[in-house]
Amino acid sequence: MQKIDAHNHFWVYDKVRDAWITDDMRVIQRDFLPQDFEPVLQENNIDGTVAVQADQSEKETNFLLQLAKENDFIKGVVGWVDLKNENIEERLIHYSTEKKLKGFRHILQGENVEEYLNNKDFLNGISLLGKYHFAYDILVYHHQLKFVNDFVERFPHQRFVIDHLAKPDIKNHSIDDWKKEISAIAKNENMYCKISGMVTEADWKNLKREDLKPYLDIVVENFGTDKIMFGSDYPVCLVATSYNNWLNILKDYFTNFSSGEKEKIFGGNAIEFYNL
């Protein structure tokens, strides 16, 4: 079974476009391209990755697809397309010829999520994804998660994955509301969860493994080992720790799980979900 990192980003750094990379994240205020990432994966015995959009444009989608064509280790791309566009089906038909394009994402965390997830044009766009075999990544903060369950229930046959555990407030050890919402959403058979992005929701300057454990426990308990997947969120993870350290935190956490379960978590589930 191949080992897959289900979530990374590439960019040519642009100070204006990438204004979300603030000065306290200056370690990632530079270009990150396949030649930077491939050696990291090789050092950690990871066979491939899924590159995920960081910008809301088809230009971004095309940029990632070009990188995937040039680099075999990029096994899949989660791009961006305007799902509200009245011509969305034309765009999906266009992109359906791209073998490595596996799904789409919108940075919902920056939106009024309740309003966005009830927008009729957006819902129409989501309703068409399955027809073209596309998955959908959901990126929200923990306090926005309460609006997601009703949305997901409308589309029982659409493959969804929650990115970064829905960004729980690990730094402040806030867990109860998030636990209630993540437990509810995990009941949807079509919902997966990426174990990624945790280190940047914890205390960057003082990262402690024991702070992450309660959140990992809840996700594993609710999603089981068939619907969770390892992701690094590289290079964003570098603001808090190294790729190797994050991977080792997870390897240690799952050390007593069966070899079959570990194969799923560190590759098999991503391969199945994204049809890699």
Computed over its alpha carbons, how large is the radius of gyration of the chain?
17
pLDDT greater than 90 at residue 205: no
Cβ–Cβ < 8 Å for 152, 120 = no
Total number of domains constituting the chain: 1
Residues 10-21 have pLDDT tens digits of: 999 998 888 888
Q: What is the CATH number of the domain that holds 38?
A: 3.20.20.140
Tell me the one-letter amino acid at 113.
V
Greatest Cα pair distance, the chain, in angstroms, is 50
Segments forming the whole domain that contains residue 189:
4-274
Residue by residue, DSSP assigns 197-254 as: S-TTTS-GGG--HHHHHHHHHHHHHHH-TTSEEE---BTGGGGTS-HHHHHHHHHHHT
Q: How far apart are CA 273 and CA 12, in angstroms?
A: 28
Q: Identify which of 214, 213, 136, 226 has the alpha carbon closest to the alpha carbon of residue 186.
A: 226
pLDDT in tens, 85-124: 999 999 999 999 999 999 999 999 999 999 999 999 999 9
Band of pLDDT at residue 204, cut at 50, 70 and 90: confident
pLDDT value of position 16? 87
**pTM of this structure:** 0.97
